[in-house]
């Protein structure tokens, strides 16, 4: 089985990036991170990558005249690095159909809710405020909608009202760090097939 080449897009702390790095180091995931790209030059995720000698790039979205011009620069870096799979790890930009069509069924994202429930931002707080009994984590392929792509893996998280929102957030992040490398592993092993919305 060949090693899969990853390009990881980040905007913030990079805890999911760290989980993927550690899974690779433990040989739980046969992959190589070829590049980490951030739209935020101060993102701590870049430091995590640089400590491991992983190539990085900063592509700030502000200077570009439009979203497609920004995304063309992302594509330039990703294709130049020979990336097989694009992994969104806290990347806080919505990708246009232009980008998604360039990597059909080759962009993966993680979301802190049981999709299709609570798509979009602030999903953990919105689930908490809604009074639901459970939420969870979803890993999915990215399509042209917002958190609407085919789901790869999901795990439920019961909401314990004796705990705090911060406790729930920590629990969800712990599951994310386990589930994301597992989903990438399934892709690397050729065990995922997309048919329609599944």
The structural domains of the chain, with segments of one domain joined by +, span: 4-188
In angstroms, rounded to a whole number, what is the distance separating the alpha carbons of residues 18 and 90?
Answer: 12
Work out the number of other CB atoms within 10 angstroms of the CB of residue 185: 16
Among residues 76, 98, 111, 173, which one is catalytic?
A: 111
Task: Using the structure block, give the residue that is written with the tokens 């130049």.
Answer: 80
Rounded mean pLDDT of 77-92? 97
pLDDT at 132: 94
Q: List pLDDT tens digits, range 40-69.
A: 999 999 999 999 999 999 999 888 888 999
In angstroms, rounded to a whole number, what is the distance separating the alpha carbons of residues 70 and 62?
Answer: 9
Contact criterion met (CB below 8 Å) for 128 and 165? yes
In angstroms, rounded to a whole number, what is the distance separating the alpha carbons of residues 177 and 158?
Answer: 18
Does 116 have pLDDT greater than 70?
A: yes
pLDDT at 63: 86
Q: Which two tokens stand for residue 167?
A: 């406790």
pLDDT at 196: 73
- Round the average pLDDT of the chain to a whole number and report it: 95
Residue 1: band (very low, low, confident or very high) from pLDDT cuts 50, 70, 90: low
Q: List pLDDT tens digits, range 30-46.
A: 999 999 999 999 999 99
Q: List pLDDT tens digits, range 117-144.
A: 999 999 999 999 999 999 999 999 999 9
pLDDT at 194: 86
Does 99 have pLDDT greater than 70?
A: yes
pLDDT at 179: 98
Question: Is 111 known to be catalytic?
Answer: yes
**Main-chain dihedrals φ then ψ at residue 87, nearest 5 degrees:** -115, 120
Query: Domain 4-188: which topology?
Result: Rossmann fold (3.40.50)
Residue 105: band (very low, low, confident or very high) from pLDDT cuts 50, 70, 90: very high
């Amino acid at each position: 089985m060949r090693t899969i080449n990853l390009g990881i897009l980040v905007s913030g702390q990079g805890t999911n990036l760290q989980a993927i790095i550690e899974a690779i180091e433990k040989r739980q995931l046969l992959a190589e991170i070829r590049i980490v790209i951030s739209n935020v030059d101060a993102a701590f995720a870049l430091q995590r990558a640089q400590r491991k000698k992983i190539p990085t790039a900063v592509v700030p979205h502000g200077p570009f005249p439009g979203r497609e011009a920004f995304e063309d620069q992302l594509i330039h870096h990703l294709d130049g690095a020979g990336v097989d799979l694009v992994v969104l790890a806290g990347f806080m930009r919505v990708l246009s159909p232009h980008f998604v069509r360039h990597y059909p069924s080759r962009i993966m994202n993680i979301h802190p809710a049981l999709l299709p429930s609570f798509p979009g931002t602030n999903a953990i707080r919105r689930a908490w405020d809604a009074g639901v009994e459970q939420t969870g984590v979803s890993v999915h392929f990215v399509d042209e909608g917002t958190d609407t792509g085919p789901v790869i893996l999901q795990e439920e998280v019961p909401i314990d009202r004796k705990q705090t929102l911060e406790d729930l957030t920590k629990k969800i992040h712990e599951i994310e760090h386990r589930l994301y490398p597992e989903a990438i592993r399934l892709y690397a092993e050729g065990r995922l097939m997309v048919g329609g919305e599944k």
